[in-house]
């Protein structure tokens, strides 16, 4: 009896405290979720968010790039939820059925919080080897135990995890998180000394080798090409609205092969995007050739994604320069083919300022494209349709997702409204640069 009394006496206050904390947490969560709803309503996103194609016409289109090779379903779901609430027009993801489902789940979870229009869901594919479609690979058994593991430190996606146990390194690349940025390759001290070259892009081998000779790599990358028939199947889904074809622009034969392979599935989407780098004087002629391949069965809007400096927006302010320079060249080219222009590759919080300096931000022009005119409520549309954000968008929200995961484990973000509010504030600050939200409404928000 004495024992039982003593236990109750010591546990009761603890239990009471725990219950009080849980109750307080519930109240705080409720308050935070209400703040999320109030914030979106105060900014006016439900009423000012135009349909995605109107955003392209007005020059305030924003696309979130989840990453053509990024396949972490939990992060993708949470990113899609946060950026849907922030008002993006499109979410671009890997052409993989489970990734597409994760994006759609995030969108619907956001719409359960506040009633918003759906952003378009876009899948990204490639017509040939491409930096965006590769995965780093190495065997940790071959790593020296005393390596300071710079690969792990430099990876922006937390896609390398290594642990020293019983005289060997365990772990390696977390395949679904690796999006192929390649930053781990040059920092590996053994990169030039050992291993295999398989899967590395030719350009990269030459960059690394002396005088253009091939070098051997310890840490390498495996490239892949998305399967055309699986992509066609995805495009026929009701919850996929757009496709993006990544191409080097140098080999239109590959582009034609992919386009032909997609068959009538391209008729199921609302937007066809082509992502390409600037390839000097042949850029416009290559774009015109691709447009002539697409034109006979192009029944929707088309867009050119100007890929400045791929997968680099999170590196620093200057990373956006190449995308802006690309836009300046294209905007001045009168012989460019029909289609909206949109920046990507190095885009970040400084991109809109750069566009403004060049006089390209939301500047109206008259389209000559009949498809656009037939579907427009206005005969004017912006010279630059908008901006896509990838690495930078994922970095600013990813910090919040990592902090949530370290506190609560793998979780859906709406279950942790304080984190949702923090993530949303970050996303609004970025999306708001294009959408022109009143930043006073969220910049001073107390969390």
CA–CA dist 423, 431 (Å, integer): 12
Residues in the chain: 447
Q: How far is CA 316 from CA 204, 321, 351, in A?
A: 22, 10, 11
For the bound state, the minimum distance from the C-beta of residue 390 to ligand SF4, rounded and expressed in Å, comes to: 12
Which of 12, 153 has the CB closer to ligand SF4?
153
CB of 263 to ligand SF4, least distance (A): 33
Helix (H, G, I), strand (E, B) or coil at 438: coil
Shortest Å distance, C-beta 404 to ligand SF4 = 21
Other CB atoms within 10 Å distance of the CB of residue 157: 26
Residue with Cβ nearer ligand SF4 (347 or 433):
347
| Cβ neighbours around 72 below 10 Å, total | 23
Q: Which residues contact 85 (CB under 8 A, 6 or more apart)?
A: 36, 40, 45, 110, 113, 114, 116, 424, 427
Give the shortest CB-143-to-ligand SF4 separation in angstroms: 3
CB 215 within 8 Å of CB 228: no
- The span from the CA of 137 to the CA of 31, in Å, is 45
d(CA 88, CA 110): 12
Q: Write out the residues near ligand SF4 by the rule CB under 6 A.
A: 136, 138, 143, 147, 149-151, 154-155, 157, 159-160, 162, 173, 178-184, 188, 190, 218-219
Nearer of residues 108 and 152 to ligand SF4, judged by Cβ: 152
Nearer to ligand SF4, 346 or 354 (CB): 346
DSSP string, 270-315: SEEEEEE---GGGHHHHHHHHHHHHGGG--SEEEEEEESSTT-TTT
| CB nearer to ligand SF4: pick between 156 and 261 | 156
Instruction: Tell me the closest approach of the beta carbon of residue 44 to ligand SF4, in angstroms.
Output: 37
Q: What residues have CB less than 8 Å from 419, skipping those under 6 apart?
A: 400, 401, 403, 404, 413
Using the minimum distance from each CB to ligand SF4, give the nearer residue, 157 or 424: 157
Q: Are 167 and 346 in contact (CB under 8 A)?
A: no
Question: In whole angstroms, what is the distance from residue 411 CA to residue 78 CA?
Answer: 9
Minimum gap (Å) between residue 185 Cβ and ligand SF4: 7
Cβ proximity to ligand SF4: between 315 and 382 the closer is 315
Q: Which is nearer to ligand SF4, 137 or 414 (CB)?
A: 137
Q: How far is the CB of 87 from ligand SF4 (least distance, A)?
A: 28
Element (H, E) at 386: strand 386-389
Which residue number, 133 or 218, has a Cβ lying nearer to ligand SF4? 218
Q: Which is nearer to ligand SF4, 394 or 435 (CB)?
A: 394
**Distance of closest approach, residue 382 Cβ to ligand SF4, in angstroms:** 33
Task: Please state the closest distance from residue 220 (CB atom) to ligand SF4, in A.
Answer: 10
Give me the least distance between CB of 358 and ligand SF4, in Å please: 30
E strands, 299-360, are 301-307, 340-344
Neighbours of 352 (CB within 10 A): 25
């Amino acid at each position: 009896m004495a024992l039982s009394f003593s236990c109750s006496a010591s546990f009761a206050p603890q239990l009471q405290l725990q219950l009080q904390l849980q109750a307080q947490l519930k109240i705080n969560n409720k308050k935070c979720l209400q703040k999320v709803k109030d914030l979106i309503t105060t900014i006016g996103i439900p009423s000012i968010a135009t349909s995605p194609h109107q955003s392209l016409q007005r020059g305030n289109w924003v696309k979130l790039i989840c990453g053509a090779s990024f396949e972490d379903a939990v992060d993708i779901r949470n990113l899609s939820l946060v950026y849907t609430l922030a008002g993006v027009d499109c979410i671009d993801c890997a052409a993989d059925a489970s990734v597409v489902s994760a994006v759609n789940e995030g969108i619907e979870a956001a719409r359960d919080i506040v009633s918003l229009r759906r952003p378009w869901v876009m899948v990204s594919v490639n017509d040939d080897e491409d930096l965006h479609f590769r995965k780093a690979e190495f065997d940790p058994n071959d790593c020296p135990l005393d390596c300071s593991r710079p690969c792990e430190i430099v990876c922006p996606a937390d896609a390398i995890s290594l642990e020293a146990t019983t005289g060997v390194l365990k772990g390696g690349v977390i395949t679904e998180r690796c999006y192929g940025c390649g930053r781990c390759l040059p920092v590996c001290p053994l990169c030039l000394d050992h291993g295999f070259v398989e899967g590395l892009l030719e350009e990269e081998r030459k960059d690394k080798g002396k005088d253009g000779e091939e070098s051997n790599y310890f840490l390498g990358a495996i490239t892949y090409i998305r399967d055309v028939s699986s992509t066609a199947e995805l495009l026929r889904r009701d919850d996929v609205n757009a496709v993006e074809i990544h191409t080097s622009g140098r080999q239109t034969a590959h582009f034609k092969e992919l386009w032909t392979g997609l068959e009538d599935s391209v008729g199921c989407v609302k937007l066809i995007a082509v992502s390409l780098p600037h390839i000097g004087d042949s850029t416009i002629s290559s774009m015109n050739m691709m447009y002539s391949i697409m034109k006979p069965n192009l029944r929707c809007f088309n867009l050119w994604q100007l890929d400045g400096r791929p997968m680099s927006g999170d590196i620093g302010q200057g990373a956006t320069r190449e995308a802006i320079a690309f836009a300046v060249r294209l905007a001045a080219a009168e012989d460019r083919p029909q289609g909206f222009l949109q920046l990507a590759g190095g885009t970040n919080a400084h991109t809109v300022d750069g566009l403004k300096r060049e006089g390209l931000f939301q500047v109206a022009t008259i389209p000559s494209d009949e498809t656009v005119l037939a579907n427009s409520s206005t005969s004017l549309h912006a010279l630059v349709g908008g901006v896509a954000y990838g690495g930078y968008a994922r970095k600013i929200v990813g910090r919040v997702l990592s902090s949530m995961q370290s506190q609560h484990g793998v979780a859906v973000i709406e279950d942790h409204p304080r984190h949702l509010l923090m993530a949303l504030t970050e996303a609004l600050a970025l999306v708001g640069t294009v959408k022109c939200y009143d930043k006073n409404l969220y910049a001073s928000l107390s969390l």
